Structure 1
Amino acid sequence: MTGDVDTRPSSSAVVGLVAAAHIGPALAVTGLAGLLAAAQALDPAVSALVVAAVLTGQLSVGWSNDLIDLSRDRHNDRRDKPLVAGTVPVGVVRAACGIAVLLCVVLSVACGLVAGLVHLVCVAAAWSYNLGLKSTVWSWLPYAVAFGGLTAFVALAGDAVPPWWWPVGGALLGVGAHLLNVLPDLDDDAATGVRGLPHRLGRRWIAPVATVVLLAATAVVLLGGSPPLAVALGAGALVAALAVVVVTAPGRAPFVAAVAIALVDAAMLVSAR
């Protein structure tokens, strides 16, 4: 009827809701979980549960981040943030976040009680970062717990004990990712008093320190995964060359090279068995 009011969300609100979830990182972590499940040869139904649990958890983390940071983002006039730009109402994001949390709990436990509890610890660690740890010298810890725990969650969902190098390599990869992820927001963070580990290191040292951490992750994966000699030598040579770029190159090249090392580490983590 022409007099009815259309209560459906607008397309722009849907786009804003997706953007507020930090969909890029959410899908990246979810994809990593899917690759780990494939590496463990999990049953398709279990793999689907694992991926769904991780996706809902990551959505809750992304939405909670924008909700918690709303006043800070308004202070910095972050018009790229949907809540600041008014693209999506705060109430909609708050409701979506609550639903994601509930679904995450149900889906995680459906993967097995122990596995589910491990995953919920990972999600809680990510929330702790949003709730304040990111402003302390311990800002790296939630990333270490979340990435290291993710590998354990996937293995436990398949009723297997994770090999030692999965959580250790995953934790190091998470710390490296944290250091690199903060770089674009250093100035905004400084304006609002956020002083995590990367901020204390300073822009000059973030990429080199991240590279050292990622090199340690490379060593752990190569040692634990014992890939074929040719693969190990090739990966080692590539990572070493990228590390040289981090230390010596000007401009954005060190950041790009450090990200490339993280991608190599992630690839080896899911392929080496």
Structure 2
Amino acid sequence: MKGLFRASHPEPSLAVTTAVVLLAVHWGGSVGTALVVGAAALTGQLTVGWSNDLIDRDRDRASGREDKPLATGALEVVTVRRAIAVALVLTVVASLSLGLRAGALHLVLVAMAWAYNLGLKSTVLSWLPYAVCFGGLPAVVSLAVRDDPGPWWLVVSGVLLGTGAHLVNAVPDLEDDRRTGVHGLPHRLGARGSVDLATALLLAGTFV
């Protein structure tokens, strides 16, 4: 269980879940709605985290990633595949429980995150899933709670912040990624270019 927890990318999973629950409560959602929003977000994040480590296990092994239980052999592939299958079912059920529009949008966001894991991370469009997911998640919550997509500026802010977050997140691993065949937007910009662009995007996203 410890290995499965570590492979789930617990920090971003818990951060996203907490954020959407608080946003649902802030917008006047009931406790039940907030909990279902949180469940959809958490299970979706689990599928993304586990699939990321599953797909990247050979690359992580080549990079000597001791913090990746799939790469070290501390966690079996079959265990992760079963966990992903269960989490995917729960994601669909929880998402559609929020209503058709909110649920469908959330499933699109999960699919975008999977697209990143499955290869988009190695293209110039590596930023796109981050932009779509950061911009779309508040709209999911708003649709679930208020049946409208929420203020436009919040979506724009999310797009800018998400793209900036992608660039910042990639910088520490640029060299390891290049050696293992990952050539996304941050790798093409380089560390300095990524930091400069991320700074501009994060500032713009903050002041939208």
Category of TM-score, reference length = shorter chain: over 0.9
* Counterpart residue type for residue 184 of structure 1: P
Superposed CA offset, 1:141-170 (max 9, x none) = 000111111011000001332111121111
* Counterpart residue type for residue 167 of structure 2: L
> CA–CA distance in 1 between the matches of 2:32 and 2:110?
22
| 1:198 to 2:186 alignment | yes
Superposed CA offset, 1:74-132 (max 9, x none) = 22232221011122111111110111111000000001011000000110110000000
Q: Which of 1 and 2 has greater Rg? A: 1
Q: Which residue in the other structure is 2:168 paired with?
A: 180
> CA–CA distance in 1 between the matches of 2:26 and 2:171?
31
Higher RCO (CA-CA < 8 Å; seq separation 6+):
2
Q: Which residue in the other structure is 2:59 paired with?
A: 72
Post-superposition shift, 1:39? 2.1
Q: Which residue in the other structure is 1:232 paired with?
A: none
1:81 to 57, 61, 68: 68
Post-superposition shift, 1:37? 1.1
Q: Which residue in the other structure is 2:132 paired with?
A: 145
| 1:56 to 2:43 alignment | yes
1:116 to 91, 97, 103: 103
2:158 to 164, 167, 170: 170
> CA–CA distance in 2 between the matches of 1:184 and 1:71?
19
> CA–CA distance in 1 between the matches of 2:66 and 2:57?
11
| 1:211 to 2:185 alignment | no
> CA–CA distance in 1 between the matches of 2:28 and 2:207?
24
* Correspondences of 1:87-98 after superposition (within 5 Å): 87-98=74-85
> CA–CA distance in 2 between the matches of 1:183 and 1:35?
30
* Counterpart residue type for residue 176 of structure 1: G
Q: RMSD between aligned alpha carbons?
A: 1.0
Post-superposition shift, 1:189? 0.2
> CA–CA distance in 2 between the matches of 1:52 and 1:117?
15
Q: Which residue in the other structure is 1:37 paired with?
A: 24
Q: Which residue in the other structure is 1:189 paired with?
A: 177
Equivalent position SS for 2:130: helix
For normalisation by structure 1, the TM-score amounts to 0.74
* Counterpart residue type for residue 70 of structure 1: R
Equivalent position SS for 2:146: coil
> CA–CA distance in 2 between the matches of 1:199 and 1:18?
29
For normalisation by structure 2, the TM-score amounts to 0.96
> CA–CA distance in 1 between the matches of 2:92 and 2:69?
26
Post-superposition shift, 1:178? 0.6
Aligned structure 1 segments of 4 or more residues deviating by more than 4 angstroms: none
Report how many aligned residue pairs link the two structures: 207
* Counterpart residue type for residue 23 of structure 2: L
